[in-house]
Amino acid sequence: MSNNVLQDNIDKAQAHIDSKKEQAKQGKMRQRYHFMAETGWINDPNGLIDFNGKYHFFYQHNPYDSYWGAMHWGHAVSDDMLHWEYLPLALAPSEPYDNHKEGGCFSGSSIVHDGKLFLIYTGTTNYGEGFIQTQNIAYSEDGIHFTKYENNPVIQAPEGVPADLFRDPKVWKHGDMFYMVCGASRNKRSQALLYRSADLYHWEFFNVLAESRGEWGYMWECPDFYPIGDKFVLMFSPMGGGERSSVYLVGDLNYETGKFTYSVSGEIDWGFDFYAPQSFLDRHGRRIIVGWANAWDWMPWWKDWGPSFTEGWCGAFNTPREVMLCEDNTLRFVPIKELEQLHCDEVLRKDMVVEDTPMPFAAGDGVAFDLELEVDLAGTRADEFSLLLRSDGQKQAVITFDLKRQMMYFDRENSDGWSKGCTKSPLLLADKRVMKIRVLSDQSSIEVFTDDYKTNHSCNVFAGNGQNQNAIVAKNGELKVISLKTWGMIKVMDEK
């Protein structure tokens, strides 16, 4: 009976999506090659998996509004993580444990077992005494139509963990056992709780995988845990972590005790709009992560979710990135090579000297482009230099590399008449003679990568097509450019 309610609620939401998606496609802020929902609200990526020859992206979704609301799971598949086919919604609120107007089917992950695709997700409800979050299971034979497990919930918050701060399960298998890490809070300190199971349905608490002493906030949202090389990585988005939005820890796991110890920590992205990244292992053996390109209202820099709500939609994903382990056990996050399929109109300039007068450069249509810049640090005499992006002569985003103070800034205060704030991070310049910079610009976002993809800033910039001028400028001296290569980017979203 309950799965009839699930299907009814999916059909109802799907009908609403179908009635609104053509209108949303006309939105002037719609991304051209970054993943979006067809209409409505999107936040965390969920259940990312390479299954039955397709890449599956699930996502937190409110199909009824361009604001956050009762959470459904949207679903799309692709052959290359660029061209997408939208499938029917995978999950909708339908049960007492997940059917609430301010709750629903919250974030989670997926795994293949016995030929079936399992979704493990957080159900959020309120029976009148506060929100309760539990971990639940749904499964599918075809990877499209899902049935919720009749004995849900399978895990409830343990003693000492607030019932409204226990969510976002990430599941994997090692040997004959399944493991699950959940984000939690105890005594106002963050925890990643580890569970294990022999059959995916019956779970026992194993250990506190890792925890904060306050330096990483009071709640770890969307924890992800995976091996890479001979190390393990714990990723999370900390609540109460100040300006941090996505953190990684690298260390070692003892499967005998269920304890993770780390020796390296870092930022996945320093930007305002990169949150809740989830990883998966793809058919090529790559560890791919995808993040949500937006921010929450409790973050210190938050203004609002941007003007796209007027177009009937809100939210997109960042560019998928491959995680790579470096010799010093830090991580780098490299945009997937598949993006090269979208390149057009290549322009290459070499051996330029840039001074304090902005030097314009061509980059596709000036809106959607890929840019690679190499700077000769040994031959440069400037204190700093800036990329002036998405400009109309008045409004522009300014990306500054301060060589004297070894800092990077992404200033969007005057970028579009809407966005606010300036991100900042140190630069890793020690002993470097060449600096490489990568920029991926789309209709309403700019992602900047440097320090061999270790220092990354992703920010939304809601600039119209008239903001299509781009330039580079130096300050207090000469900037020696080895090469500046740009490509336009073919539009692939909203094409169907």
Specify whether the CB–CB gap between 57 and 279 falls below 8 A.
Answer: no
CA dist 109 and 47 (Å) reads 4
Q: Which residue has the tokens 């974030």?
A: 107
3-state SS string over the chain? CHHHHHHHHHHHHHHHHHHHHHHHHCCCCCCCCCCCCCCEEEEEEEEEEEECCEEEEEEEEECCCCCCCCEEEEEEEECCCCCEEECCCCECCCCCCCCCCCCEEEEEEEEEECCEEEEEEEEEEECCCCEEEEEEEEEECCCCCCEECCCCCCEECCCCCCCCCEEEEEEEEECCEEEEEEEEEECCEEEEEEEEECCCCCEEEEEEEEECCCCCCCEEEEEEEEEECCEEEEEEEEECCCCCCCEEEEEEEECCCCEEEEEEEEECCCCCCCEEEEEEECCCCCEEEEEECCCCCCCCCCCCCCHHHHHCEECCECCCEEEEECCCCCEEEEECHHHHHHEEEEEEEEEEEECCCCEECCCCCCCCEEEEEEEECCCCCCCEEEEEEEECCCCCEEEEEECCCCEEEEECCCCCCCCCCEEEEECCCCCCCEEEEEEEEECCEEEEEECCCCEEEEEECCCCCCCCEEEEEEECCCEEEEEEEEEEECCCCCCC
Residues annotated as part of the active site: 44
Specify whether the CB–CB gap between 72 and 80 falls below 8 A.
Answer: no
Cis peptide before 153 (omega within 30 of 0): yes
Phi/psi of residue 22, nearest 5 degrees? -70, -35
CA dist 398 and 401 (Å) reads 10
Q: In what order do the strands lie in the sheet with 407-411?
A: 359-360, 469-475, 384-391, 397-402, 407-411, 422-426
| Residues ≥6 apart with Cβ < 8 Å to 405 | none
